[in-house]
């Protein structure tokens, strides 16, 4: 069984209450939750939250009841990995069957397409890595136009190469970790203590579908793009 998962806390410093804030007519979380519930490959859906209002809302829509998130996983410093481990165990118990793939969608990245979910699942099933992680091509490159100061305050390219790199096109390709879509092997999730201990492979998405809401500006930008998408699809 593929277990769909969304993790949302009640609190948010950048955009207060953002996970349940209305975006183009429905709560932000529903843009991701509806994708999980509509995907025929997903056998069950759970939502990890410390908010009773969100818990009741998602259960009414069809998510399994796994209770509220433990207090130690409800802080703004709690690692995503620990939340995933708790949700996997609670989800298997609630569903009553073993999980073959743990599919996590980030509620703050609502611009993903349903085809992105299927693409990530297809990649996971084809290559059987420990984890598939959504990425997009980085706008800035540490081999070319990312710089950092040395001990004197003088700037240097962050990752210099012999001879230098003098154009973006010739720089080694790097990705941004796009907090959108993840597929994790359940055995890896149980035994590892962080994301990068195993074989984590990229699932590349267009950058315009990877925007993560972390500020009021991000929310306004995503809202504009979502309205544009809805208008285009009628």
Per-position DSSP letters for 30-49, written without gaps between them: HHHHHHHHH-TTEEEEEEEE
What domains can be seen in the chain, in order of their start residue?
Answer: 2-136+174-232 (3.90.550.10), 139-173 (no CATH)
Note down pLDDT in tens along the chain; length 234 residues.
999 999 998 866 667 789 999 999 999 999 999 999 999 999 999 999 999 999 999 999 999 999 999 988 888 788 899 999 999 999 999 999 999 999 999 999 999 999 999 999 999 999 999 999 999 999 899 999 899 999 999 999 999 998 888 887 888 999 999 999 999 999 999 999 999 999 999 999 999 999 999 999 999 999 999 999 999 887
pLDDT digits (tens, 9 = 90+) for 18-43: 999 999 999 999 999 999 999 999 99
Q: Which residues pair with 47 in a beta bridge?
A: 6
CA 209 to chain centre: 12
């Amino acid at each position: 069984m593929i277990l769909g998962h969304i993790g949302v806390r009640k609190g948010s410093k950048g955009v207060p209450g953002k996970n349940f804030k209305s975006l183009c007519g429905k709560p932000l979380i529903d843009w991701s939750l509806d994708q999980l519930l509509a995907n025929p490959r997903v056998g069950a859906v759970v939502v990890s939250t410390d908010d009773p209002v969100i818990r009741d809302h998602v259960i009414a829509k069809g998510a399994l009841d796994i209770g509220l998130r433990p207090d130690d996983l409800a802080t703004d410093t709690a690692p995503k990995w620990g939340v995933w481990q708790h949700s996997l165990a609670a989800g298997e118990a609630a569903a009553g069957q073993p999980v073959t793939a743990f599919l996590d969608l980030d509620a703050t990245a609502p611009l993903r397409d349903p085809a992105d979910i299927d693409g990530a699942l297809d990649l996971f099933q084809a290559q059987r890595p420990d984890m598939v992680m959504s990425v997009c091509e980085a706008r800035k490159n540490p081999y070319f136009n990312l710089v950092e100061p040395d001990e004197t305050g003088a700037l240097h390219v962050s990752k210099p190469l012999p001879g230098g790199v003098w154009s973006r096109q010739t720089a080694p390709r790097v990705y941004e970790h796009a907090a959108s879509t993840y597929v994790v092997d359940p055995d890896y999730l149980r035994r590892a203590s962080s994301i990068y201990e195993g074989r984590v492979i990229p699932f590349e998405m267009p950058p315009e579908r990877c925007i993560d809401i972390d500020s009021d500006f991000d929310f306004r930008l995503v809202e504009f793009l979502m309205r544009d998408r809805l208008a285009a699809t009628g």
